[in-house]
Amino acid sequence: MNTDRRIVVFVLSSITLYLLISFFAIAFNFNEGFIKRINLIGDIVSSDSTAVSDKLQNDSIENNAPIVLAVTPEKKFDLYTRPDYITAFHKDTMQPSLAFFASKLHELKKGKKRKIRIAYFGDSMIEGDLLSKTLRELLQKEFGGAGVGFVPITSAASKFRQTVIDNYSAGWLDENFKNSPKNNRLFLSGHLFRGNNDWVEMSDRTVRDSATVLEKILFYGSADTVVSVKVNNNDILVEAKKPFNTALIGKDLSKSVRLSVANNNLPLYGISLESESGVIVDNFSFRGISGTEFASIDTTLLNSIAEANLYDLFIFQYGVNVLYRPNDVNFNWYARTLLPAVKKLRKSFANTDFLIVSTADRAFRYDDEYKSAIGIDSLIKIQATVAYQTGSCFYNQFASMGGHNSIVDWADRKPSLANKDYVHPNDRGAVILGHYFFDAIMKDYKKYTNNIK
């Protein structure tokens, strides 16, 4: 028997043995010792996509000391606990929280031709365009716009993302938060790509109207000279003078684009497929991060992106990767590492509304049953504190999805709304969360329209 075959037999035998032991443990109610029941799939997924490096957490007394709120008389911190509600912590709850963003939406509603671009940051909770695709669809239906928005050159989610079909050659070099954490020229997606005679093809799957014109916009970094790229087999020269650049590489009825590059000196970020006017939602998912990574991005690059006046709203959804140990209850260390990242983004994008979204529910096994993490309330309070301290808005996704043990309920429903890892909502659950989020945005928008009458 050759080596490969022996490995296959060993793996299959091990899995069969595990399943037999699990069956007898359940059938005869054995739950102690080496045959105590575990969630094999959940443990595999959790260890891969929800564990944050312990280097983030410094257990010193200083880092775990309580975070003191800078109390402001006209604000009310406890508003963060409300479900289905976006708050800027103003005591006057009839005032809109995302006033700047709402004013832009109102201009669209009144017929003004303009783009409103949303950057939706998140971890594996929004990977594959989950949740954000529903928000995009609902906002575009209400206010206009079309197209999937920004798509990275390559992606771990490319084979299961439903809103775009993308294929690419195998030679692309991907510098990112994980393999190059000190590379401060990474884009907001956490990636930077270089290609040497490499290609990528993208095809939008969100647009169903054949008469819709889509712009294809290349996002890229700086290079010493003008660089030639090939778009749909046509050579195009692009200037790369600024730290961040965009180039219109196509504008037609086609929903697809093919790009190839022969110069690996040109740092590429991705391509956006978008309408000439309306709401554009860019999905910036990055598996396994906590949001603190953005503190390492170069300020000059951030300022260059801001000067391009691309983004009207940042949505910042993290937290589940911080809840990677079942008994953690003190997350002050997270506030102290997240604050610099949020402050840096807020300073560079001073004209962009900033909305921090809390973690959704996640569960661990306690006393032989799954329950919400015992520290989840503490973490959400910390996330709200960061929003309060940085002048950002806050949306409590945990409360909106049902609060304690909601992820357990969602996973156990028929049909289920969440995976059995008790961390990730599935496609059905993500659609529901997207509708909840959209409804909260619309409530805030209606406050704006009521106030201008």
Span 90-103, pLDDT tens digits: 999 999 999 999 99
Is the model's pLDDT at 299 over the cut of 80? yes
Is the model's pLDDT at 10 over the cut of 80? no
Distance CA 297, CA 338 (A): 14
Residue pLDDT, tens place only, 99-157: 999 999 999 999 999 999 999 999 999 999 999 999 999 999 999 999 999 999 999 99
User: Which class for 3: exposed (0-12), middle (13-18), buried (19 or more C-beta within 10 A)?
Assistant: exposed
Note the pTM of the prediction, 2 decimals: 0.88
Is the model's pLDDT at 77 over the cut of 70? yes
Band the pLDDT of 18: cuts 50, 70, 90.
Answer: low
Is the model's pLDDT at 33 over the cut of 80? no
Mean pLDDT for all residues in the chain: 89
pLDDT for position 50: 43
Is the model's pLDDT at 395 over the cut of 50? yes
Is the model's pLDDT at 3 over the cut of 60? no
Band the pLDDT of 225: cuts 50, 70, 90.
Answer: confident
Q: What percent of the chain has pLDDT over 70?
A: 85
pLDDT for position 221: 96
Segment 225-254 shows an average pLDDT of: 95
Within 50-131, residue ranges assigned H as helices are 99-109
pLDDT for position 397: 98
Is the model's pLDDT at 63 over the cut of 70? no
Band the pLDDT of 51: cuts 50, 70, 90.
Answer: very low
Residue pLDDT, tens place only, 149-179: 999 999 999 989 999 999 999 999 999 999 9
Residue 221: what residue type?
A: G
CA dihedral 403, 357, 355, 220 (to 10 degrees): -160
Token pair 């046509």 in the structure block, residue:
234
Is the model's pLDDT at 182 over the cut of 50? yes
H or E element: which one contains 446? helix 427-451
Segment 341-354 shows an average pLDDT of: 97
pLDDT for position 452: 86
Segment 45-62 shows an average pLDDT of: 48
Q: Which of 113, 116, 133, 93 is nearest to 353 (CA)?
A: 116
Is the model's pLDDT at 425 over the cut of 80? yes
Q: Which of 280, 104, 111 is nearest to 207 (CA)?
A: 280
Peptide bond preceding 340 in cis form (omega within 30 of 0) = no
Is the model's pLDDT at 69 over the cut of 90? no
Low-confidence winner among 24-33, 239-248, 315-324, 412-421 (lowest mean pLDDT): 24-33
Q: E strands of 289-418, at which residues?
A: 313-317, 353-357, 363-366, 369-372, 393-395
Low-confidence winner among 33-37, 53-57, 265-269 (lowest mean pLDDT): 33-37
Segment 76-83 shows an average pLDDT of: 97
Burial 40-61 (b: 16+ CB within 10 A, else e): eebeebbeebbebeeeebeeee
Segment 201-225 shows an average pLDDT of: 96
Q: Are 373 and 364 in contact (CB under 8 A)?
A: yes
Is the model's pLDDT at 434 over the cut of 90? yes
pLDDT for position 263: 86
pLDDT for position 13: 63
